[in-house]
Amino acid sequence: LHSFPTRRSSDRLANNWIELVTEQDTRGLSNYASSPIGSSRFENFKDEEVQLAAIHHLKPYMEDGALIVMGGDGSLRGARALYERGVQVVGIPGSIDDNIAGTTALGLHSAIALANESIESLKATSAAMGSVFFVEVMGAGSGHLALMCAYQARAEGLLVNEHPRS
């Protein structure tokens, strides 16, 4: 099954907008510096009725298989909710935060690659114009992404606004 940016994957499950994925559908996806799948939130997936509808729609595909969920915190929470209702689920961290112990999130590497492309362009402009640029990168309180991007870009300085969680 797959989901591309036109509709959220959990939204697809809840509304039975499910399509089979072929090898052809996935060819070349690793060449993207950013995710072609997209990112989104589907708050309704927290609702028990929406989860039950998703399970009902998944049944024809799940006889001898498992649902593979790649995503961040919200996606993996949704996967856990389905698992707790008896669905076989495999969760693959896909966030950019790299904050799940014992894993390396797939999104981290693509986020670094995309940031590096942008920073390299800024470095050329900076050298030509004698300007200084401040670059902000995402990363929900982990700081890993900012540190790795700064290292990759050979930045002259780094500010990380991070507060330990209590």
Rounded to whole angstroms, how far apart are CA atoms 130 and 127?
5
* Known catalytic residue at 97: yes
CA atoms within 13 A on the CB side of 90: 6
Q: Per-residue DSSP letters for 98-156? A: --STT---HHHHHHHHHHHHHHHHHHHHHHHHT---------SS--HHHHHHHHHHT-S
The one catalytic residue in 25, 47, 64, 97 is 97
The answer to whether 105 and 95 are in contact (CB under 8 A) is: yes
Rounded to whole angstroms, how far apart are CA atoms 27 and 161?
38
Name, in order, each residue with C-beta under 8 angstroms of 150's C-beta and a sequence gap of 6 or more: 157, 158
Given the structure tokens 């959990």, which residue do they identify?
10
State the catalytic residues: 97
